[in-house]
């Protein structure tokens, strides 16, 4: 039997290992995924369904919201029905509502059908996923605005949070459509992007992901914007830089979600095979992230960060740059660590070990992930530790280093003989490792 090339196998193993922190980070979280009507029409749409099924098997609580705009338009034009748009919103008259019900029903059933696939040679073999649709979104009429009666066009009045939560608790995927029912029993055609953002806010979702036609948001110079705050995105929208109307609607809704408690709103291209998985399971993803949060911050470490720190330092230990630390030791010493966190991932760390004299301490385990070096992160970690040291009354810092002598010198540390280490540390000095010793007065 042919063996796969060794490199390919190793790539796969490395990829699988690298994704494990994300798998842990995402498990038990609630994600709302908005699937545009355009995505449903794509020939590769079943791949997106397979990826969503995978997310469900990894323990992510999924609420899907589908659109049906092109499908509704196709039905209307087949019947020669003209509908008017006001402020990017379709005015749904009785004929248009019939077309919308027809299109939405067809799209919803198509999605349910794809989730039921279980052929032995498909990624969904043995998956047995329950998709639950229903009257989870209560609608109200948009009404008459600026003299225009929007008729059967509606907006979200309320999301049945508890009912959705019960389905998610049972491991089901909840599928929402852009048709909502009112307490009077009428049906309303709604904006699917708004259904998604309102649901994400009501459910206190951890993420909302819009699968759209663009790779993400592109700035005035044509460059992909990897991360943007709702304020900055608002400026792009106001300057009419976003060309694609679907992307514009998605970005508007993403900003609304991000400004109302949804920590992360992603825009991802459905045409890129695997884009959803790349966005969720790789360090830098491939779309645009709208977030109010400081995407990267330096903070004290918690016990939950142990896995991420180990992930970061193990290759450096293997290369001899850092002294080996076991998981048990790290767990016991976690309070001494400061980390740089980026979108939930540990990309830098450093530790401060106070000596018994209460006035001096040792800086150790300073590391920044190779992909993120030379951007001042090491210096900021050190600054954070120095501040921490001062607050504990420590005014002399020592560091032992084999490979990073010059870097520490540039941070204000001066070389000293081993003999000048405080007694308790000198007795533990490893002469075989032969580290250089540095000191800095704060
Ligand atoms: C040392 C380390 C933490 C620096 O992280 P960083 O985020 O890149 O640091 P900064 O951005 O603040 O500093 C980068 C500068 O330091 C320099 N630098 C990095 N490593 C260096 C080294 N080993 N020796 C000398 N200079 C070094 C870079 O060239 C850069 O200088 P430049 O801006 O003039 O080009 C990182 O390189 C690392 O993790 N190294 C491996 C682990 C290690 O050896 N840790 C120390 C043991 S306690």
Nearest ligand 1 atom to alpha carbon 372: 7
Ligand 1 center to residue 288 CA distance, Å? 29
Q: What is the mean pLDDT of the chain?
A: 90
Task: Name the helix (H) or strand (E) containing 32.
Answer: strand 30-35
At residue 402 the predicted structure's pLDDT band, cuts being 50, 70 and 90, is: confident
Using the predicted structure, report yes or no on whether residue 1 has a pLDDT greater than 50: no
Q: For 372, list phi and psi in degrees, rounded to 5.
A: -120, 20
Nearest ligand 1 atom to alpha carbon 375: 11
Residue 191 to residue 91: CA distance in whole angstroms: 11
CA distance between the termini of the chain: 64
Within 6 A (CB) of ligand 1 lie 316, 321-322, 364, 366-368, 373-379, 401, 403-404, 406-407
Mean pLDDT of 92-117: 94
Angle 271-272-276 (CA atoms, 0-180°, nearest 5)? 105
Nearest ligand 1 atom to alpha carbon 368: 39
Residue with CA at minimum distance from ligand 1 atom 41: 367
Please state whether the predicted TM-score (pTM) of the whole model is above 0.85.
no
Residue 327 pLDDT: 93
Ligand 1 center to residue 340 CA distance, Å? 15
Ligand 1 center to residue 368 CA distance, Å? 8
Using the predicted structure, report yes or no on whether residue 242 has a pLDDT greater than 80: no
SS3 136: coil
- Structure token digits, residue 313: 């330092």
User: Domains of the chain, with CATH numbers?
Assistant: 20-293 (3.40.1160.10), 297-441 (3.40.630.30)
Using the predicted structure, report yes or no on whether residue 153 has a pLDDT greater than 80: yes
Contact indicator for 340, 380 with CB cutoff of 8 Å: yes
Give, to the nearest 10 degrees, the angle between helix 306-318 and helix 6-26.
150
Ligand 1 center to residue 297 CA distance, Å? 19
pLDDT digits (tens, 9 = 90+) for 159-194: 999 999 999 999 999 999 999 999 999 999 999 999
Ligand 1 center to residue 406 CA distance, Å? 9
The H-assigned helical ranges of 260-400 are 275-281, 306-318, 327-333, 377-391
Q: What is the 3-state secondary structure (H, E, C) of 220-273?
A: CCCCEECEECHHHHHHHHHCCCCCCHHHHHHHHHHHHHHHCCCCEEEEEECCCC
Least confident of 3-12, 62-71, 104-113, 424-433: 3-12
Using the predicted structure, report yes or no on whether residue 5 has a pLDDT greater than 70: no
Residue 351 to residue 347: CA distance in whole angstroms: 14
Nearest ligand 1 atom to alpha carbon 402: 47
Nearest ligand 1 atom to alpha carbon 367: 39
pLDDT digits (tens, 9 = 90+) for 129-149: 899 999 999 999 999 988 889
Residue 314 pLDDT: 93
Using the predicted structure, report yes or no on whether residue 123 has a pLDDT greater than 90: no
């Amino acid at each position: 039997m042919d063996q796969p090339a060794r490199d390919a196998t190793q790539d796969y193993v490395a990829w699988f290992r690298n994704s494990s922190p994300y798998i842990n980070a995402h498990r038990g979280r609630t994600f709302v995924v908005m699937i545009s009507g355009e995505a449903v029409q794509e020939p590769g749409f079943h791949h997106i369904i397979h990826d969503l099924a995978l997310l469900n098997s990894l323990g992510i609580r999924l609420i899907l919201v589908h659109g049906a705009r092109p499908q509704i338009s196709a039905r209307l034009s087949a019947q020669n029905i003209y509908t008017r748009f006001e402020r990017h919103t379709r005015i749904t008259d009785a004929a248009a509502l019939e077309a919308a019900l027809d299109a939405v029903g067809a799209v919803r059933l198509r999605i349910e059908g794809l989730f039921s696939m279980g052929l032995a040679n498909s990624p969904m073999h043995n998956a047995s996923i329950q998709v639950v649709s229903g009257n989870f979104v209560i609608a109200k009429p948009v009404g008459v605005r600026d003299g225009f009666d929007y008729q059967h066009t509606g907006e979200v009045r309320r999301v049945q949070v508890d009912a959705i939560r019960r389905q998610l608790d049972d491991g089901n995927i909840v599928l929402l459509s852009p048709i909502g029912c009112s307490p009077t029993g009428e049906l309303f055609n709604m904006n699917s992007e708004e259904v998604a953002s309102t649901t994400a806010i009501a459910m206190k979702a951890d993420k909302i992901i819009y699968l759209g036609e663009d790779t993400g948001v592109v700035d005035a110079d044509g460059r992909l914007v990897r991360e943007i705050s709702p304020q900055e995105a608002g400026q792009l929208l106001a300057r009419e830089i976003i060309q694609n109307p679907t992307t514009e609607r998605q970005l508007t809704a993403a900003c609304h979600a991000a400004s109302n408690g949804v920590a992360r709103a992603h825009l991802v291209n459905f045409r890129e095979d695997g884009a959803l998985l790349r966005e969720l399971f790789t360090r830098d993803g491939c779309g645009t992230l709208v977030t109010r949060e400081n995407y990267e911050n330096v903070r004290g470490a918690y016990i939950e960060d142990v896995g991420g720190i180990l992930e970061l330092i193990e290759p450096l230990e293997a290369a001899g740059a850092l002294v080996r630390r076991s998981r048990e030791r790290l767990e016991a010493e976690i309070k001494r660590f400061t980390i740089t966190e980026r979108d939930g991932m540990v990309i830098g760390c450093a530790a401060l070990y106070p000596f018994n004299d209460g006035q001096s301490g040792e800086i150790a385990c300073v590391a920044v992930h190779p992909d993120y070096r030379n951007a001042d992160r090491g210096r900021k970690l050190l600054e954070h530790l120095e501040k921490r040291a001062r607050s504990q009354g420590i005014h002399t810092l020592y560091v032992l280093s084999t490979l990073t002598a010059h870097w520490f010198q540039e941070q204000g540390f001066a070389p000293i003989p081993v003999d000048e280490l405080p007694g308790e540390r000198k007795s533990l000095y490893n002469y075989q490792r032969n580290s250089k010793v540095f000191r800095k007065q704060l």
